[in-house]
Structure 1
Amino acid sequence: MGFAILAFDSTDPSRRAESIGRHREVITRWAADGRLALGTPLFDAAFQPMGSLMILNVPDETHVKEYIAEEPFAREAVWSRFEVLPFAIATLPYRPLPQPGAPTATSRTHTISIGLDGTDPEAPPRRAAVRASHLARVISAAETGLLAMGGAIMRGQTMVGSIAITAHASDAEAEAWWAEDPYITGDVWQRVTRYGTRMVGLPYHPLPGGV
């Protein structure tokens, strides 16, 4: 299991511009040694940066604190706030993530969907009841490249939500695709938040199950 860091920028966009070079140096090093599984920006509706999603492949929060201590976006107040979520990347047949030298899109190409399960006593059984059919659907999506990465937000050993990045260029496209997923039709996700993003090439290691 690893961790997801969901971070939101301050209201001063110049801070990100001043720190971006140092940020890239840190995340390149963490990706190269396998500790950063995926790092991607969050964009608002006007395609302006509003934060970051960083998926760390580390065993405990000691390493998360190490990353935060090194991360210029945290140290130099680019991020005004962030939360750390225990996160398990699903083992799926993912296509390779973009590597250094890959072209970076000049517009939004993907959507981050964060689905939180209910907090009622029946929430875990609802997830368990449809998980197999959900997995069958996302396996196919990973094979085609539609699903770039997905996994479960954890509370101890219990899955309490999901984070998924899909190749949808708008919230509407992502919402339409997820509307047919068992986690929506089975009332597993009670609240869903979406953010625009694009992929940036880094020396990533293969994701679990990927090539």
Structure 2
Amino acid sequence: MDFQINAYDFTDAAAIDRRMAARQAHLDNAKKMKAAGHLIAGGAMLDASGKMIGSTLYLRFDTRAEVDAYIASDPYTTGKVWDRIEVKTIRLVDL
């Protein structure tokens, strides 16, 4: 199954510092997820000024429980970067 994740960052003054502190671990984890076939694509959501305000991910897992486990273990979750997370089941088209 394919999933779209929209994860919105906390908005407090220290939020961007937490994002930057956890960023390398998050990207390292993303590379592992890509190699395992779970991460299809992803990137930062930006506001009008280009500031990172969250993340969008396209994931492939067999179950929603696996998605939830991934989210719970991601450095952006454990590092208090992501505040509000939306998970949607989607159907991607392979062109």
TM-score by length of 1: 0.43
Match of 1:184 among 58, 66, 77: 77
Match of 2:87 among 186, 194, 205: 194
1:132 aligned to 2:27?
no
Aligned to 2:35: 143
Aligned to 1:114: 6
Q: In structure 1, list runs of 5 or more residues that go unmatched.
A: 1-108, 203-211
Task: Return the index of the structure with the highest Cα Rg.
Answer: 1
Higher helix share: 2
Greater relative CO (CA pairs within 8 A, separation 6+):
2
Match of 2:50 among 139, 153, 157: 157
Q: How does 1:69-80 map to 2 (within 5 A)?
A: none
Question: How far 1:148 sits from its partner (Å)?
Answer: 0.3
| Cα distance in 2 for residues equivalent to 1:179 and 1:113 | 13
Question: How far 1:201 sits from its partner (Å)?
Answer: 2.3
Question: How far 1:178 sits from its partner (Å)?
Answer: 1.4
Q: Secondary structure at the match of 2:87?
A: strand
Q: Secondary structure at the match of 1:179?
A: helix
Instruction: Give structure 1 regions of 4+ aligned residues with deviation exceeding 3 angstroms.
Output: none
Aligned to 1:173: 66
Q: Secondary structure at the match of 1:187?
A: coil
Task: Report the identity percentage.
Answer: 35
Question: How far 1:171 sits from its partner (Å)?
Answer: 2.9
| Cα distance in 2 for residues equivalent to 1:171 and 1:187 | 22
| Cα distance in 1 for residues equivalent to 2:22 and 2:12 | 17
Question: How far 1:172 sits from its partner (Å)?
Answer: 2.3
Q: What is the root-mean-square deviation of aligned Cα atoms in Å?
A: 1.2
Deviation string 1:46-80 (CA, Å, 9 cap, x unpaired) is xxxxxxxxxxxxxxxxxxxxxxxxxxxxxxxxxxx
Deviation string 1:97-126 (CA, Å, 9 cap, x unpaired) is xxxxxxxxxxxx111111000111111001
Question: How far 1:143 sits from its partner (Å)?
Answer: 2.1
Count of residue correspondences: 94
Q: In structure 2, list runs of 5 or more residues that go unmatched.
A: none
